[in-house]
């Protein structure tokens, strides 16, 4: 399973520096649209690995190895947060902490679609309540970045 963690970590290529289906009803859709618009203007070009897109549920062209994304990332003392806009419709939030990597997939209008946590040996879908709570915090984090 070490490969699973590597694949999840490889999903984010910063160029400048699980259950399926909807987990919740549209959440912070205005905030998600604002974040997407901000990434279009202020994000940098980056990529998402096609294997990760497949695993998390982002459609893409057949045969593609990398999928273009607009992205931004910020690091504090121990956590790296990355937001990626893929295909103008999907937002992927990645929170890399020392021992775990959380990923939240949403659509701009539909809210949270999938939330997983990867540790050294496993990739596990988050329970709905934890996914909603964590996702809400990430949206608030990125809304504050947009407002700066």
Q: What confidence tens digit (pLDDT) does each residue in 11-54 have? A: 433 332 333 344 443 445 679 999 999 999 999 999 999 988 98
Give percent above pLDDT 70 in the chain. 80
What does the chain look like in DSSP terms, one character per residue?
-HHHHHHHHHT-B-S-----S-SSS--SHHHHHHHHHHHHHH-EEEEEEHHHHHHHT----TT-SEEEEEEEEEE-SS-EEEEEEETTTEEEEEEE-SS-EEEEEEETTTEEEEEEEE-SS-EEEPPHHHHHHHHHHHHHHHHHHHH-
What pTM, to 2 d.p., does this model score? Answer: 0.81
The confidence score (pLDDT) of residue 28 equals: 57
With 50 as the cut, is the pLDDT of residue 93 above it?
A: yes
């Amino acid at each position: 399973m070490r490969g699973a963690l590597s694949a999840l970590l490889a999903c984010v290529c910063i160029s400048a520096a699980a259950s399926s289906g909807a987990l919740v009803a549209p959440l912070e859709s205005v905030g998600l649209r604002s974040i997407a618009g901000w990434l279009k203007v202020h994000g940098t070009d980056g990529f998402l690995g096609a294997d990760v897109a497949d695993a998390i549920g982002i459609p893409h062209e057949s045969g593609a190895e990398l999928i273009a994304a607009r992205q931004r990332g910020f690091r504090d003392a121990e956590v790296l947060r990355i937001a990626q806009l893929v295909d103008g419709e999907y937002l992927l939030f990645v929170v890399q902490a020392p021992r775990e990597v959380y990923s939240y997939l949403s659509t701009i209008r539909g809210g949270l679609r999938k939330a997983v946590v990867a540790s050294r040996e496993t990739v596990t879908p988050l329970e709905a309540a934890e996914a909603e709570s964590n996702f809400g915090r990430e949206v608030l984090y990125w809304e504050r970045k947009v407002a700066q």
